[in-house]
Amino acid sequence: MTPTSLAGATDMEVSATVAAEAGRLLLGLREGFGPVEDKETADALRKKADASSHELIVARLAEARPDDCVLSEEGADDLARLEAERVWIVDPLDGTWEYGQGRVDFAVHVVLWQADPDAPGGGRLSASTVDLPAQGLARRSDDVPVPARALPQDRPVRIVASRTRPPAVLADVVAALDASLREQGHPFGVEVIDVGSVGAKVNEILSGRAEAYVHDTGFYEWDVAAPLAVAHAHGLTASHVDGSPVSFNRERPYVTDLLVGLPDFAEQLRAAMLRATGE
């Protein structure tokens, strides 16, 4: 397929186009890789996919925005970005494990950080895309926001958490929220579900299948930046667990924790997390 021309494209068009192209590449690689029946083969697929998606994204961004810096999970970190006005923060394949398992909950993250002395941390995010190629869906920061909604009454309220590194206090938090909601007359209480990529986790909330996501054992800016910008654009709460804003383009591109959710329930979850951790 001939790449879409990026001549004259807006930042949002660049973001969405590049993410979509990387998503199609990832699907094509997986479909053409042959049977993936053991860990060695799955790891080889994951390695090739990470590298190939990174190469495509970096090349296309260099074509469209040659003066911008790029911070990518798969690339060497050029600290010249700390003095730059514009930095693309990308994850060429978020949810690598899930991708290698043949699952649909992986994503491509592309977002632009721009220096802004009036913004928290000295910068702001824009032109964000979370492309979910196996789901045939992309979430963008220029989407029409998903309408506000109340908690579901026909199923449990769902919190998305990491399969391998959930918060240590999550069981206590879920028990407290479950009891509180049942006292308020909610018939099903609270449950935890497992979803792969951070982008896919946020999409579960936007799609109406979950109400919040919480993580407190750390990850990196490329995991978080694009999903957070999309969440904000849709009116969700998206911040550190303590309510402070998340800053990006830091010297060490590490994010300690994150809470995303429907605003009212996110505040209940935040309060329960802080009580459980003694903060």
Amino acid at 142: D
- Rounded CA gap, 148 and 238, in Å? 15
pLDDT at position 37 is: 84
Q: What are the tens digits of pLDDT across the range 1-15?
A: 678 899 899 999 999
How crowded is residue 136: how many other Cβ atoms within 10 Å of its Cβ? 9
- Rounded CA gap, 222 and 89, in Å? 6
Domain boundaries, the chain: 11-140, 157-277
Nearest one of 126, 80, 104, 123 to 203, comparing CA atoms: 104
Q: Taking residues 119-143, report their average pLDDT.
A: 97
C-alpha torsion sign, points 204, 9, 80, 239: negative
Q: In the predicted model, is pLDDT for residue 75 greater than 70? A: yes
| Class (C level, CATH) for 11-140 | alpha beta
Amino acid at 29: L
- Mean pLDDT is lowest, of 29-43, 165-179, 192-206, 253-267, for 29-43
Q: What are the tens digits of pLDDT across the range 206-241?
A: 999 999 999 999 999 999 999 999 999 999 999 999
Query: Residue 152: which residues within 8 A CB-CB, separation 6 or more?
Result: 188, 208, 211
Q: How far is CA 234 from the centre of its chain?
A: 14
pTM greater than the 0.85 cutoff: yes
CATH 3.40.50.720 describes domain 157-277:
no
